[in-house]
Chain A
Amino acid sequence: MKRWIKIILGLAVLGIAAAFLIYHFVINKPHPDFEKIKPNYSLNARAFYNEFKTSKENAHKLYNGKVIEITGKLARIESADTLTIAVFVFNQGMFGDEGIRCTMLKKFSAEAKKLKPDGIIRIKGYCTGFNETDVIMEHCSLIY
């Protein structure tokens, strides 16, 4: 085989490999595994909520888009559509209970539904912000 054909074939193989890697690890990269991510902050749930309530801007800068681990007294578990939500209540507002709402990862739904109100629990999740009544956490997992 002529040398230039070998070079072209080699470049073609490299190109295909590069395209595959870019597609797999960049374009089609998986979502982060929130269960395994080390939290950026570990906080008391009430203190975490109070930070948003007293200084929303500062808390947004600190915690939005971060993985937070919180410990506090569970108020209740809610089910909405296919979601399971762990609810912490720290205030009563114009539209009812206010606090922290944690949407559980599907893997933890069944375990979360067995939790009893008023128990102290530890949850880790991705903080998406404060909507004037509640701090919202997504992709949450229970920590034992």
Chain B
Amino acid sequence: MKKYWILIIITVGFCINGFAQTYVTKNGMIRIYSEAPLEKIEAVNRQVNTALLVPTGDFVFKVLIKSFNFEKALMQEHFNENYLESDKYPEATFLGKITNIKDINFTKEGIYPATVEGKLTIHGQTHPVKQNGTLEIKNGAVTAKSKFNILLSDYNISIPNTVVNKISKSIEVTVEVMMTKLN
């Protein structure tokens, strides 16, 4: 009887390992964009660390603030020193879940709508977020895409009075991360 128990444990363990999958990338992309009377603000970060666990739907990404690259050096300096204070708050994180993960067939190529719920931490402030996006399954890779707006005031990012009417109070965030299965 004992050997049957061992067999059952090995089989269950194999099944758990067989079904549990982790998709990761270290080269995800996040773009921030805002257009206001003073000027257009645009920056890209292509070193976004991302992981998606299937079938739980746990989804996490981590971004280093100093890895955002701007076209204008002065804008990058202000972003790091005055707005995001990247020496004090060097990273932004998202910890959450794809809530409709069961509707996504990871074995069938296609583009699936996805809803992400979790907590976004920027500038040391954490806020709950719920956003829609897509998951594309193609050639064994999973590409998550989403576009949403965040309010600077939610994350305690203050705009100096002198430019308060010339800088947008919200910023558009575009996320595009292509993850491959972890071996």
A: residues with CB less than 8 A from B are: 26-32, 60, 64-65, 78, 80-81, 83, 85, 95-96, 101, 103, 126, 128-134, 136, 138
Contact = CB atoms under 8 A, between A and B. Distances in A.
A60 B90 contact: yes
A128 B67 contact: yes
Contacts of A85: 27
Nearest to A132: B62
A101 B93 CA distance: 19
A95 B90 CA distance: 21
Given A28-B74, A64-B87, A96-B182, A129 B27 contact: no
Interface string B108-128: 000000000000000000000
Contact of A131 (B72, B76, B91): B91
Nearest first, the 9 closest Cβ-Cβ pairs linking A and B are A128-B66, A80-B27, A129-B64, A128-B67, A31-B73, A128-B64, A129-B90, A131-B62, A131-B49
A70 to B, nearest CB: 17
Contacts of B145: none
B46 A80 contact: yes
B169 interface: no
Interface in B1-47: 22, 24, 26-27, 29, 46-47
A29 B64 CA distance: 24
Given A30-B73, A65-B86, 4 more contacts: A95-B22, A96-B183, A101-B26, A132-B49
Nearest to A85: B27
Contact of B91 (A27, A83, A129): A129
A96 B181 CA distance: 11
Nearest to A87: B26
B84 interface: no
B135 interface: no
User: In the complex, which range does the number of interface residues on chain B fall in?
Assistant: 20 to 34
A29 B67 CA distance: 19
Interface of B: 22, 24, 26-27, 29, 46-47, 49, 51, 62-67, 69, 72-74, 76, 80, 86-87, 90-91, 182-183
A129 B73 contact: no
Residue among A65, A95, A96 with most chain B CB within 10 A: A95
Contact of A64 (B49, B62, B66, B183): B66
Contacts of A101: 26, 47
B87 A27 contact: no
A136 B27 contact: no
A78 B27 contact: yes
Nearest to A78: B27
B130 to A, nearest CB: 24
A129 B66 contact: yes
Contacts of A81: 27, 29, 46
Contacts of B76: 31
Contacts of A136: 47, 64, 67
Nearest to A57: B90
Contacts of B86: 64-65
